[in-house]
Amino acid sequence: MGILMAATAAELRQKIELQVRSLIDDGYGNVTSGPFETQATVNAKFHYLRGGEEVMAGRLAGKQPAIVTVRSSAATRALTPEWRILTTDGEAWNIRAITDPDGRRAWLEILAEKGVAT
């Protein structure tokens, strides 16, 4: 990642929810994963990947990779690959990697993939 130009505020047109699974005590002293819960709602820019052999193979399998650009904030810096993105149309995107493209902590680029099990 890091190959995209930094987004401008006007390009952050899509509202997304950043979600993480809650942890639940099963009553027997074990902690299990619960449902996803929204931790923050932020604006984002989606850049759909196309081209390479791996991307094309993923599309044939029903997967769609994208780079999601968001402003860096306390909420977005907390992201890890265990989290997911939920778009306003109800599509869930798994987070694969998160980078700070220019090292200035202004923007984050998230490699996300739709069409895979959560």
Domain boundaries, the chain: 11-114
3-state secondary structure of 45: strand
Distance of alpha carbon 92 from alpha carbon 116, whole angstroms: 9
* Exposed / middle / buried, residue 100 (Cβ in 10 Å: 0-12, 13-18, 19+): middle
Cα 34 to Cα 23: distance, rounded to the nearest angstrom: 5
Cα separations in angstroms, 14 against 9, 38, 45, 55? 11, 16, 6, 23
Q: pLDDT tens digits, residue range 17-35?
A: 999 999 888 888 888 889 9
Residue 56 has a pLDDT of: 61
pTM, two decimals, is: 0.81
**Percentage, residues of the chain above pLDDT 70:** 84
Determine the 3-state secondary structure of 26 from DSSP: coil
What are residue 26's phi and psi, to 5 degrees? -80, 5
The model's pLDDT over 79-100, given as tens digits with 9 standing for 90+, comes to 999 999 999 999 999 999 999 9
Would you identify the CATH topology of the domain 11-114?
Thrombin, subunit H (2.40.10)
